[in-house]
Structure formats: structure tokens, C-alpha cells
Structure 1
Amino acid sequence: MASIAAEAPSTRLQRLQIAGFDGLRRGKAALERWFEAERDQLPLWIPVALGGGITMWFILPDSTWWRAALLGSLGLAFLAMAVGRHGRAGRTVALAALLVAAGIALIWWRAERASAAILARPAIVTFEARVERVEPLPPRGLVRLRLAPIRVIATPPRPCKGRRCGSRGHEGRYDPAQGSELRPVELPPHLRVNLADADMPPGLSRGATIRLGARLMPPPEPAVPGAYDYGRVAWFDGIGGTGRGFGPVTIVAPGVANGNGLRERLSRHIQESVPGGAGAIAAALATGDQGAIPEADNDAMRRSGLAHLLSVSGLHITAVVAAVMFLVLRLLALSPWLALRFRLPLIAAGAGALAAIGYTLLTGAEVPTIRSCVAALLVLVALAMGREALTLRLVAAGAFVVLLLYPESLAGPSFQLSFAAVASIIALHEHPRIKAWFAPREEGRLRKLGRDLTSLLLTGIVVELALLPISLFHFHKAGIYGSVANIVAIPLTTFVTMPFEALALLFDSVGLGTPFWWLTGRSLDLLLWIAHKTASMPGSVAALPAMPGGAYGLMVIGGLWIALWRTRWRRLGAVPLAIGAIWALLTPTPDLLVTGDGRHVALRTASGGLALLRDRVGDYTADMLAENGGADENLLLLSDQPNARCSRDLCLVERPAGGRTWRVLATRSAYLVPTAELVAACGGADIVISERRLPVACRPRWLKLDRATLAQTGGIAIALGNSRVVTVRHPGDEHPWLASAVPPASLRTHRHGAISPQ
């Protein structure tokens, strides 16, 4: 009876009812087979998942979204464990989701823990402070101080009006000599102040207590979209204000003896031994101090793709560890008693590990150095255990450690450049075909040299391709011929410059280091010659304006997908990589850039260059506008353009774009323009820009960008062809280093800060 009922048509499962389950079953089985084939690669995604959570916290705007992402990741982890707890795929997805949640929680906790008071408003203050760090910047004629304020001595007076003066609650704030009321200023725990060399008192050192005056302001946000966000960096560094100090600077209490640590003394000794830019680079190689490198040399190193040699990272750590291990091993091997009773390679590895840690601390323990030190220690451990040393797991372990210690470093170019370079090199040489092509074999010296040079060139090209999107996203320019320049520069630095510098420091202990310093200087002169020649070649630099974050994210995902998988599915990474690249290239360049204070405006000319509103602009501002506008040439003056009519106070320019002619009106000075004339000019303009508040009657046809509007939007980039406007500030952004702003009623806000008229 039961069998007859089971065979009845009404109780039999139909094909349509189980087809969906069959598809899910087949998909799950395919996923299990794929993960089983890639089981050796799965650990490489641990830091990627952790970094994905950190990235989500930076991208999502407020705590509501952060909580939703955190809970969603946890929910996905539980779901994966419930559905596929018996398979590798379920466990992998669950672990990845947990790591994403951990990344969100980690960076959120780090941001809250770094919380410090930020200067409320710009102020001129006389105060006492303890010196925490002294960074000389000779090319700029400055010394950068990190200060911990102790007490405020005086603040600038403001007029005291009416009966408030001397009234209850205002005692002690009235200055009878000036008839004014002192403005109370509460300084944050840490400040960064630049001091001119001429105002630097002799003997100023770390730990000293000084009295000085300074013009202070809150850490600045990006001046225009895509520019450097020092406000974020300052938040995690605990700096609540920046500014320019002025004399006289008085030392109230001295600091440590000669106030300089080993790093500062060593840097100064090297620069005295090797003069000029070569000595500054020699100091950077030994101590990581790049402050003395001349701007021209620094720019040439960047444009030629050799700037990575200035930042102490894997190349330098490897050279130091290898040299120490070689010397220790050879010296200990001179004793037969030691050689027969101890494992000398293990002792040499221990000495190399101590050298790596000491070198990291000496050079300031920056993120690339920490990553390289961790990697070097893992290599030494692997060698001691008899394992293969240089693998992507090594890079993944280093990235995971750095993200645990400094999760905020993920958003900076240093972390991204260093890990991308190392990962691309190892991924290339782990490929079976590449490994077979360049494996050792019996052949003539000339043929072997040719294969080695080809391997070095191929490695340089792959590294340049890997670093190109990162450089364009953060710096808006990238060197094109860096792979060729590095063929000579890397061996020169590793096998000539650094050994000569080490020998010079060693022989300086007995007063015989001069010949080695001379050889070090000549090798660095050759390095600078290569950098300047490469940078001056036509087309040596690729310039691109601010890249959309989505395009950059797609390229990063595609690059990781290609580098970390090993089966044929890795080829799918080319899809997001290509989409991101096309998106970045098709993004229209901004025709108009306006800084957040409204003082500086850059307009794209008909020839494709950028013209500046003001005749006098600082080098930093000019470079920043050129980089974010995608211009790699000298900036022009708007007053010299044929389609512009400029006076001392106003400038009106016409710019054809998008099938129409745009009229842009901007104020050029702080002097007030008669209201009637200004209102009449506003009525005939599409966009009006000013650093001050404009009258209500000033109503342009499209955008009114005065002090009130820019205070809410920050800097602005406008593409006139499609009327796309991108702002620095986004409404409702709760990241702690940003002030939330609500756009004015005349503007409608879109995602990514794009605004358009209603």
C-alpha cells in the first residue's frame, strides 16, 4: 500500500521542483572542486579579507552603515557555516566574512582610540610646548617640529564691545592696554609646526621645552577632490593642529644631550661626509631620513620611477641582512672548533634577524620597513626550518601583521606600493612558465647574462604595470621608463652604493672612511644622473587627473585575482581590471578646480593646459592643482588668456564646453567690489567663485561658490562638458576627521559628492 502511494503521480516530485536544487547542488560541487584545487592559495586571501573590511569602513559614510556591514558580515559567516559546514567552500566563506567583520571592527576601534582634540578654529597663539620630534628640511629652509603644548601664554585680542567687557564671566580676559578681550584658545595635545631655519634657536632638541608664537589651524582636508588628505593622516597620528611658527623662539628647558638620537647624528655625519644631493640620498639609505634631499633630485627620482629606492623597504632590508649573514658566517667559519660544534648558518640567521630589527628601528619603523622586517624574519625562520622562503604566503603574513598593528596604513600609498611590488615579483616568478624559462641551467656566460637581464627587465615591466594604477590614483602621475632605469639603478644601489656606505661607516671608527665615502658619492652621482636623464626624456611621465575610487577598486580586485589564484579561473581577473582601466581613462578631466577656501581657481584652456586665477600662487598649491587637473606642464595665468577679461579684483572668462559657452566669474582679491556692479556681473555669469560671502542678490545662472557654499562642500572639481561636479565633503560623513556638511538648498547631492543644480 505504501509503495503504491509513493508511485502515485500526485506524490511524485516533478522536474521543475528539483531543477533549482540540482543547479544549487552542481554549483556547490563546482565551488568545492575549485577551492580544493586552490587550497594552497586560500591562506593568501586572509589579509585581503581583513583589508576588505578596513576598506569598507573607509568607504561607508556613517555608523549606521558600519554597523550594518559588521552585522551583515557576521550573518554571512553564520549562514555559510550552516549551509556548508562540512565543505571547504563553506568554511572558507565563513572565515572570509569573519575577517571582513574583524577589519571593520579593528579600524573603527583604532579610529576611536586615536581620538584627540582638534583645534576648533585658526588662531595666532603664544604658548609653551615640549618638543617631541625635530625634522630638518634643508631644501625648504624649514625645521618641522612635533610639539606637545603645555600652556597658552597669550592669544590675539579681539575688540571688546558694550558692557560685556569686564563683566562677570569675562574677568581676566580684558586687556586694558589695548581695550580688548583675549580670545580663549584650547590647544590640542599634539601640534605640527614648521619653523624657519633663521628662527631655529641653537641647541633645540627633542625633549626641550620652548616658548614660541605660531599661526595655527586645524589639519587641512584635501584642497580639491583627489588631493592628499592630511586630515586623515593627522587624526591617526594624534595631531590636532598645524601651522607656521615665528620668532623669537625661547628654550625654557633643554632637551636630551645634543638632543639628537642615533638616527639624527648618523644622518648628519653622512651628509657631512658626502656633500650635496648624493649625501642626502646616502643618509636616506642608512636612516630613512629624506628631509635633506633637494626638491629637484626628489622630483627626478619620482618621475624616473626610482623613488622606491629612497624609502627603506625590502631592497634595503635584504641587503643588510644578507651582508650581516655573510660576514658572520665567514668569520665564524674561521674557527674549526665552532664550525664542528654549532650550526653556523643558524647563528648567522639570528645575527641577520637582529640586524633587520635594529635597521628597522634606526630608520623610523615606517610601514614599508616594518613589512620588510617581518618578511625578512619569516624568510630566516623558513631557512632555519628548511622550507622554501620567498613565497606569496610570506607577503601575506607580512601584510596581515602590518594591518593588525596599523590598519589605517591600508589607505596610504606606502602600504599599497610596497606590497604590490613584492607580490607582483613573487607571483611572476612563481608562474610555472616563467620559472621554467629562467631556471638555472648549463649554458655559456653570455647567454646566462642575457637571460638574467631579460628576467630583470620583465620583472621591472611587471612591477611598473602593478604600480601604475596606484601611482596614478594617489599621485596622478607615474614614470613610464622606470623598468629600464631600474635595470641599472637597483644593482647599483644594492651591490655598489650600500656596501661602500657600510664600509665607510665601519672604517670611520678608525678614521679611514674617506675613500669609501668618495666611492659612495660617485655611485650616487651616477644614480642621480640616471634619474635626471630618464625624467627629462619625452613622455617620461604619464599624468591623469583624479581617478574615481570605483575604477581604482576594480583594478585592485582584478590585480589581486590574477596574482593570488593559480587555476584557469585567474583569467577572470582581467575583466574588472579592464573595466576599471577603461572607466578611469573615460572619466572626463575637470575643466574647473576650486580650492576649499575659494582663493585659488584653475581653469582648463582650449589647448588642454591649466590657467590659474591669481598671478602669485605658492609652489605647493600650483603643483597640487596641476596634479589633480592632469597637467604635467607649467601652469598658465588666466589673465593672459585671450578669452578672459581680468582686473585686479575680478576676472570673467568664457569657456566653450558641452556645446555651449560657459561664463565664469571669480574674485581675485580681498577688496570689496561695489555691490551693484557685482550683482550685475553675477546675473550674466554661469558660475561665480569667491573667497568671501557674496550678496544674496548675486544669483548666477548655475553655481554660486562663495565662502558659505565652499564651507559646506569643500574643494570642487567641475567637468563642464557633462555638468558633473565633485566635492571634497559629502553630506552625513561621520568619519572622525571630517566635519559633516549639508549642501545648500540650491544644490542636489549625488553619490561620491557629485552635485548639480535643482
Structure 2
Amino acid sequence: MGEEQGPTVARRTRFRDAQLDALEHKPQVPETIQESRKSAGPERYISFPLAIRARFPRTKWRVAFRRAVEEEQAFGHALLFAPVFLGLGSLAWFSFAQSPGFLKTALLMCIFGMAAFLLRHSPRVWRIFALIATLFLSGMVLAAGETARKDTVLLDTPVTTVLRGTVIARETTDRGYWRFTVNVAQTSDPALKRAPATVTLLSRSRAKPIEIGGGIEGKARLSPPSGPALPGLNDFAFDSYFKGIGAVGYFYGKPAAVAAAPEITGGLSATWHVRVRETIARMRETVGARIRSTIGGDAGAIAAALVTAEERAISRPTIEALREAGLAHVLAISGLNMVLAAGTFLIGARTFLSLIPGLAHRFPVKKLAAAGALIMVFLYILISGGAVSAVRSWIMISIMLVAVFFDRPSISLRNVALSALIILMITPSAVTGPGFQMSFAATLALVAGYSHWRERPGRETVSGGGRTAGPLKAAGGFFAGLLLSSFIGGVSTMIYSAGHFHRLAAYGLVGNILAMPVISILVMPFALLAMLLMPFGLDRYPLLVMGQGLDWMISIANMVSSWGGEVTTGRVPDSAFMLIAAGGILACLLRTWLALSGIVVIAAGLLAGWASTAARPDLVIAEDGRLVAMIEQGEAASNRTKPPDFVFSQWQRAMRLDGHQKPQQRADLTLKDADAPPSEKRGTGDGRKNKPPIDKDAARSAIRKLLAETAPGRFACVPKQWCAATVRPGWRIATVEDARFVGIACDEADIVVTPVMLPFRNCRSGAMLLSGQSLRRTGAVEIFAADGPAGQQGKTAMRVVTALDQLQRPWTRHRTYDWRTGQFVVGPVE
């Protein structure tokens, strides 16, 4: 590779003329194929089974197919498929209801690995099968190893306790609050038997925050990481387990600064990596604060997020505008940020070194610039906090820069596959998340797309002539490349956006076309310049230019989002998701006309998604029992005037809900407590306080009146006591906040929901009881009207679907822990 050449896309040898020659001279084909079979190397794994070959005549299409297969083999594309099967193995291991035995899985991996080695000279179809099985089982073994390494203790139930620990990270929010990441040293009043090692806590105090590395103490409300909001949605407990976060919550009042725990700050436990981590955290905070103070507003918060990955300071409206405009990917430390930063440094450093007289003739300035870019992206990953998406991008960019040292193509499918293999070997759990899937889908599609574009027929003729392109042609090529990359990146990630987030930005292509020139020319280059000048105190003006670019980007996002172009897709069927994803992989990895098979698979996935429209449930219950909604014709009628946005927004997107019907308030039916001596208000076994008994007749009359006077499909609520409604299939439901009303609700309703941790699990009347205790084990619940014989009193039968079927996996096992006995209660989910 000459010094004047930039990063190139790996090119293929043209086989089109050879294919036409083979079609015209049939007698020479068998000899050619036989000769290539004898010289097949270990990388030639793509082959058509010999048994099937013998059954079909040697037609032209068969010859063309075999030639295409030989061309794929010549590229050594077996390596490209290795991370696919490795990732599928990890994905399968995480999706199992119970953990497969590690030793059994490892033994099977060894058996198939030895079989692949022994069959290296056998018919290739068996060798391919053994290799695929080995990779698949290797993915399972890697997933099991990572799960065992983490061993995160997740809090079992919400609790209020006095917590003391050490601040290891902190981040400001858009309201001026502080969110601390704390290593827990001690809990008291009560002392937790299974205290999580690391928690994140929000402090609503705007006072000076506690320094990183300092001790912190205060009364805090801790909760376990939430599970899926609906069956099939994202499990946040899974994410927290692999991030090492055992609980989330908030402080009551202002936390106090105390001496750091001695087991963390002194003695042999004060290891070097703890000190390095605290130093980097302080550096991140300093850089983020300087950027926000210089630029200010949402532009400053976004600028800090691009450098340090701290996104909580960005206001909610701006984040929503960026999402609706298809620009939310800009906020993440992703491949885009890394490529722009590394590319800017590489081009700038190479240009500067080329201007030094005699240096370009003595040293390879391109490799020197690549070495500098490699150091720069390493510092970037340190200052960004090491988020998973940033690590993925760093590995990929580092491999591409290292390829420059060996005069290899820096942008190629092999480098993408190699980076995916490294990530899957270190963190196989990343394969389940949208970040990994969308990042590699976009990168794979862009590399494959540009490769085909560079090799299009007639390109040499069009680009020939020896004349240098003028400025207009160069600008046209820049914007054409921007349009093409935005289109490819948007289309390649659509299925993952719909599958994980259940929404698409209809005008995302327009938003990216308008905003990407600003990001590429003003934002990232000046961000890099500001970081290089910050140690010398000369970063103000580059940051102001960066801020101006971000202000324009926010204006573009607001304009595009005002068009109302967000499309809510709802839950995508698993079959459609897998088919479309598999088709995309085939279309990108195959380089001959066999890539059309990927288009066929994608079409099959689209047809499967169109044909299998998911039915909406009639009733949805959140896992904490506080939010219940009846679903009818795209509208949700809930028992909350202001449903919690975290859960309800997921319901709206997953079930494609357009409206929300608030409950009717019936304060006139409130039952007042009878007078009782304070001595009767003593603690009970389930953690509640005794209250005076209620008038059962009055309570029964109140719930009957609620059910009779409220229209079907809408809740009527008595504040702080209970709500009641009649679901369209005819079921009567009561949601109870005051545990004294549970018995009456069981007598009058068919379904009773309460967040209270009741000591019993069933209603004596036979009604379905979903309490905090049972929902803890089932997670969120969906209830459908079942097709079949009617239930009691001729009412429509119910089909209940729970978010959690089994509680044996490490990220769900905490739900079976009983803090009274200190044991895990294993049994069927009720």
C-alpha cells in the first residue's frame, strides 16, 4: 500500500468471465471442480452435499451454483460465519429456562472439536457440521463462564435501610440531582443478609456532592432491578447482573460524607486497579464539568455525553426529539464517534507529518499516524468510562488501525468478524443486547455495501481519465456517500430497533442526512481538537464551535420530530425477527449472487411478521402490582391517573396503544378508619402495621356500587384504598392498596391485584389473587380471553401469560429468596 493511499476496502478477484467460460465449455467443468476439491484448504467449508449433487443433472444453473460456491471458498468466508455461530450459542444459553450443566456442555464441545479435527480429510459436509456444533457449544461455554465470573448479588425485595459505602462514580442529572454508584460496606436498621456489593442511588439534594473515593452514608430506599415490563421485553435485571449492579434506589434527604470504609481504602485490599479506576472517574467528571460549563444547555450536556458517555444531564424533551429524528445513536460512544475521532486524527496527523521536509521519504507517515490514532482511541475509551458499546467500537477501530501496520486493508469483513470474535470471547452476554446487534449490523452492512459499490461493473471506466476530481464533484461524492451510508445504516438496523424498542423513526433518513454533515465537519473534529488542547487550557474556542454544531443538530432534531414521523411497530414475532436478521447476515457475508438468498430469507421474515399479528391482551398487570390496565382497541384504561412512565411507555410501544383513559375518582365512597388505641397499631409478621378493622358491609356496598355505576372498560377508584372495574370479557377486577380490603375484594371480584406482600396466595372464594408475593415470582402478567369452555358462572375463561416462567437463572434466582429464613425457596411459580 503506497503512502498516498488511504484505508481501502478489501477487493475480490473477478470470476464473472470464468463463470461465462465455464457455462460455454461444459466438458471442462468436472475436471476443474475435482482439481479444486483436492487442493481445498481448511478454510473451504462451504460446499454442496455430494449426495444431493448426484441426483441432479449437470445443468447450467448447477454449474453456476458450484462456481459461486468455489468463489465464496476462495475468499475464506468461513471465518466470517464463525462469530455468527458463536453468538448463536451464547444467545441460546442465555435463553434457556434453566442453566445447562457446564461440564456436559464443555464435554460436548470437546467431542465435536475432536470430530472436526479427525474429519478434516472426510467429506466436507460432515466437517462443516462438526465445526458449526463446536462453535455453537463454544458460545454456550463462554456464556456459562461469564455468568460464573460475575456472580452479582441482586437484592431480593424492596427495603429501606441505612447504607454506608464508598462512592466509585457519580453523574449529574438534567435537574441538578446527583446519581452515585456506591460500593456497599455496611447496612443497618435493618442489616441486610444478602446485601448487594454495588448499588446506584439518586440524591435529590443540590448541595455539593460527595467526592469520588469518599465515604457516603444515609437512609436509602433500595429496590431490585426490574424485570421485563411485559413477557418478551427487555429484562433489566439481566443487564444489571452483568453490569455488577445489585440494586437501585434513592436517598432520603441529603447523604452524609463519612470516612471511607477501611477495607476499601487501606491495607492489601487497596489494589492498584481501584486507585486507577477512581483516578479515571475523577478525570471523566472534570472533563464533563468543563465541557458543560463552557458550552451550557443541552448542547453542553450532549457534548459531554459524546466524550464521557454521561447522558443523564440531557433534558428529556431533547432526548425524545433525537430519538424521533433517528439521531439517538449520536449520544452513544459508538462506532460513529470512534470512526470520526480516529479518522480526523489519522488524516490530520498524516497531513501534518507529510509537511515536514524529508520525513515522508524516510518514515512511513501513514503508520506513524495510525499509531497516534491507536493511542488516541485508547485514551478515548478510558475517558468514556468503558461502556459496552464504547468497548465494542474501540476493539473494532483498533483492529482496523493495527491492520495499517501490516499493509492490510483496514476496512474489511474479516476485521469486523475478528472484532466480533474478541468481544464474544470476553463478554458473550453482549450478544443479547440491542447495542451489540445494531452496531455490528450497521458496520457489516456498511462494509459490505461499500465493497460492492467499489467493485460495481464499469467503475474503472467511469473513474478513468487521469483527471483529478473538481471541488463540485468531490462535494457531490461526499454527500452521495453520506446519503448512501445513512440509508444502509438505517435499513440494516430497522429490525433491531423494531424488535427491541418497538418503534422506528419514519424520517430518520432525512434527519441523518441533515445532521451528519454538521456532526462530521463541526462536532467530532472540534471535539477532538478541544480534547488535545484541554491540558493546555486552550479548549474554549474549539468547544464553542462544537457547541454551535450541536445547537444546529438539536434544531434539526426538533424540526424533524415535529413532523410526527415515529412509527410504533409493537412486538415483532420471534420468527420474523430471526428470519430478517439471518437474511441480512447472508446478504452481507456472501459476495456472489448467492447473496440473493439473504433477500429471499428477509422477504420470508417480512411475510411472517405481516401474517402473524400479535393479539393484544385484555388485562395487563405490572410486576409490582401497582399498575393495572385494561386494553381495548388500542387504548389502555389504567387504575392510575399518572401511570409511571418507565413501565407505561413500554406498554404503549409494545402493544401499539394510542390513548390512555384515566380512572374515575370516587372520593365519596371513601371509608374512614374507626378510632382505635395506639397500642393496637403494632407490627405484624409481614411488615405492615395493624389498622382498625373496617366495616365489611360498608366496604362490600362500596365495591358493588363502583362496579355497578362504572362503564365497562374503565376503572373507578377510591383514593388510597381500592379501584374496581369490569373487563370487556365480563371479569370483575379489583386493585387494592389497603390490605384490609383484600378479603372483601376476593368475595366480590374475579381478579384481585394488590402490591401488598400477603402471607397467603389464594382467595378462599376461588378468585385469582395476584399479590406482591406472587407477582414477585411471576413478573408482569398478561391475561387473555381464552377460546374454550366458559369458567365459573359462565364467564369467559382466562389464559394467563407471565413474564418469568422459571426462577433458576442467576439473574432471577433472587426472587425466590426468603429473608426470614435466609434460604431460597425453590418451587413452582404460582
For Structure 1 versus Structure 2, the TM-score category normalised by the shorter chain is 0.7 to 0.9
Match in the other structure for 1:598? 625
- Shift in Å, 1:33: 7.0
Match of 2:353 among 328, 332, 349: 332
- Shift in Å, 1:272: 0.5
Identity %, equivalent residues: 27
- Shift in Å, 1:626: 2.1
Q: Where in structure 2 are there 5+ consecutive unaligned residues?
A: 1-48, 266-274, 666-709, 788-797, 817-828
Residues 98 and 604 (structure 1 numbering): CA distance in 2 closer, same or farther, change over 3 Å? same
**Do 2:72 and 2:591's aligned partners in 1 also have CA atoms closer than 8 Å?**
yes
Q: 1:718 is aligned with what amino acid?
A: I
In structure 1, the residue corresponding to 2:89 is in which secondary structure?
helix
Separation in structure 1 between the aligned mates of residue 458 and residue 801 of structure 2, nearest angstrom: 48
Match of 1:154 among 186, 189, 196: 189
The more displaced of 34-43 and 519-528 is 34-43
Match in the other structure for 2:203? 195
The more displaced of 41-50 and 382-391 is 382-391
Match of 1:55 among 74, 79, 91: 91
Match in the other structure for 2:615? 588
- Shift in Å, 1:301: 0.9
- Shift in Å, 1:418: 0.9
Match in the other structure for 2:32? none
Residues 271 and 184 (structure 1 numbering): CA distance in 2 closer, same or farther, change over 3 Å? closer
- Shift in Å, 1:486: 0.9
Question: For 1:699-729, what per-residue CA distance to the aligned partner results, in whole angstroms no more than 9, with x for missing partners?
Answer: 34xx553445423321012344766543111
Question: For 1:353-394, what per-residue CA distance to the aligned partner results, in whole angstroms no more than 9, with x for missing partners?
Answer: 111111121112223322222222222233333332211111
Match of 1:218 among 219, 224, 227: 224
Q: Residue 243 in 1 paired to residue 249 in 2? A: yes
Separation in structure 2 between the aligned mates of residue 22 and residue 416 of structure 1, nearest angstrom: 35
The more displaced of 32-41 and 54-63 is 32-41
The more displaced of 183-192 and 278-287 is 183-192
Match in the other structure for 2:598? 573
Match in the other structure for 2:636? 610
In structure 1, the residue corresponding to 2:741 is in which secondary structure?
coil
Residues 572 and 72 (structure 1 numbering): CA distance in 2 closer, same or farther, change over 3 Å? farther
Match in the other structure for 2:781? 716
Match of 2:734 among 666, 670, 673: 666
Separation in structure 1 between the aligned mates of residue 156 and residue 726 of structure 2, nearest angstrom: 39
Separation in structure 1 between the aligned mates of residue 152 and residue 742 of structure 2, nearest angstrom: 44
In structure 2, the residue corresponding to 1:63 is in which secondary structure?
coil
Match in the other structure for 1:726? 801
Match in the other structure for 1:500? 526
Residues 330 and 460 (structure 1 numbering): CA distance in 2 closer, same or farther, change over 3 Å? closer
Aligned-pair RMSD on alpha carbons?
3.4
Question: For 1:48-77, what per-residue CA distance to the aligned partner results, in whole angstroms no more than 9, with x for missing partners?
Answer: 111011011012222347777666665555
**Do 2:416 and 2:444's aligned partners in 1 also have CA atoms closer than 8 Å?**
yes
Match in the other structure for 1:134? 170
Q: Residue 491 in 1 paired to residue 558 in 2? A: no
Separation in structure 1 between the aligned mates of residue 381 and residue 550 of structure 2, nearest angstrom: 22
Separation in structure 1 between the aligned mates of residue 123 and residue 106 of structure 2, nearest angstrom: 24
Residues 650 and 23 (structure 1 numbering): CA distance in 2 closer, same or farther, change over 3 Å? same
- Shift in Å, 1:415: 0.9
The more displaced of 259-268 and 28-37 is 28-37
**Do 1:507 and 1:513's aligned partners in 2 also have CA atoms closer than 8 Å?**
yes
Residues 574 and 224 (structure 1 numbering): CA distance in 2 closer, same or farther, change over 3 Å? same
TM-score (ref. length: structure 2): 0.75
In structure 2, the residue corresponding to 1:124 is in which secondary structure?
strand
- Shift in Å, 1:470: 0.9
Separation in structure 2 between the aligned mates of residue 511 and residue 116 of structure 1, nearest angstrom: 42
Q: 1:729 is aligned with what amino acid?
A: L
Question: For 1:195-242, what per-residue CA distance to the aligned partner results, in whole angstroms no more than 9, with x for missing partners?
Answer: 2234x5x35122111221211233322233244322111211222222
Residues 642 and 259 (structure 1 numbering): CA distance in 2 closer, same or farther, change over 3 Å? same
1:300-449 to structure 2, matched below 5 A, reads: 300-431=321-452, 435-436=456-457, 441=463
**Do 2:746 and 2:752's aligned partners in 1 also have CA atoms closer than 8 Å?**
no
Match of 1:228 among 234, 240, 246: 234
Q: Residue 38 in 1 paired to residue 72 in 2? A: yes
Residues 223 and 429 (structure 1 numbering): CA distance in 2 closer, same or farther, change over 3 Å? same
Separation in structure 2 between the aligned mates of residue 100 and residue 717 of structure 1, nearest angstrom: 34
Q: Residue 23 in 1 paired to residue 51 in 2? A: yes
Residues 84 and 135 (structure 1 numbering): CA distance in 2 closer, same or farther, change over 3 Å? same
TM-score (ref. length: structure 1): 0.81
Residues 245 and 185 (structure 1 numbering): CA distance in 2 closer, same or farther, change over 3 Å? farther
**Do 2:639 and 2:717's aligned partners in 1 also have CA atoms closer than 8 Å?**
no
Q: Residue 738 in 1 paired to residue 812 in 2? A: yes
In structure 2, the residue corresponding to 1:146 is in which secondary structure?
strand
Q: 1:108 is aligned with what amino acid?
A: A
Residues 679 and 126 (structure 1 numbering): CA distance in 2 closer, same or farther, change over 3 Å? closer
- Shift in Å, 1:86: 3.5
Match in the other structure for 2:135? 99
1:422-571 to structure 2, matched below 5 A, reads: 422-431=443-452, 435-436=456-457, 441=463, 453-505=479-531, 513-538=539-564, 540-571=565-596
Separation in structure 2 between the aligned mates of residue 434 and residue 592 of structure 1, nearest angstrom: 55
**Do 2:763 and 2:769's aligned partners in 1 also have CA atoms closer than 8 Å?**
no
**Do 2:583 and 2:599's aligned partners in 1 also have CA atoms closer than 8 Å?**
yes
Residues 435 and 487 (structure 1 numbering): CA distance in 2 closer, same or farther, change over 3 Å? farther
Separation in structure 1 between the aligned mates of residue 325 and residue 333 of structure 2, nearest angstrom: 18
Residues 138 and 130 (structure 1 numbering): CA distance in 2 closer, same or farther, change over 3 Å? same
Separation in structure 1 between the aligned mates of residue 459 and residue 616 of structure 2, nearest angstrom: 43
**Do 1:392 and 1:426's aligned partners in 2 also have CA atoms closer than 8 Å?**
yes
Q: 1:216 is aligned with what amino acid?
A: L
Separation in structure 2 between the aligned mates of residue 405 and residue 116 of structure 1, nearest angstrom: 17
In structure 2, the residue corresponding to 1:647 is in which secondary structure?
strand
Residues 652 and 247 (structure 1 numbering): CA distance in 2 closer, same or farther, change over 3 Å? closer
Separation in structure 1 between the aligned mates of residue 501 and residue 663 of structure 2, nearest angstrom: 25
Separation in structure 2 between the aligned mates of residue 362 and residue 86 of structure 1, nearest angstrom: 51
- Shift in Å, 1:491: 1.9
Separation in structure 1 between the aligned mates of residue 55 and residue 110 of structure 2, nearest angstrom: 23
- Shift in Å, 1:611: 2.4
Residues 117 and 638 (structure 1 numbering): CA distance in 2 closer, same or farther, change over 3 Å? same
**Do 2:116 and 2:131's aligned partners in 1 also have CA atoms closer than 8 Å?**
no
Residues 53 and 507 (structure 1 numbering): CA distance in 2 closer, same or farther, change over 3 Å? closer
Match of 1:691 among 755, 762, 769: 755
In structure 2, the residue corresponding to 1:665 is in which secondary structure?
strand
Separation in structure 2 between the aligned mates of residue 498 and residue 459 of structure 1, nearest angstrom: 17
**Do 1:329 and 1:345's aligned partners in 2 also have CA atoms closer than 8 Å?**
yes
**Do 1:81 and 1:90's aligned partners in 2 also have CA atoms closer than 8 Å?**
no
- Shift in Å, 1:266: 0.8
Match in the other structure for 1:286? 307
The more displaced of 581-590 and 609-618 is 581-590
Separation in structure 2 between the aligned mates of residue 717 and residue 316 of structure 1, nearest angstrom: 40
- Equivalenced residue count is 680
Residues 71 and 734 (structure 1 numbering): CA distance in 2 closer, same or farther, change over 3 Å? farther
**Do 1:74 and 1:101's aligned partners in 2 also have CA atoms closer than 8 Å?**
no
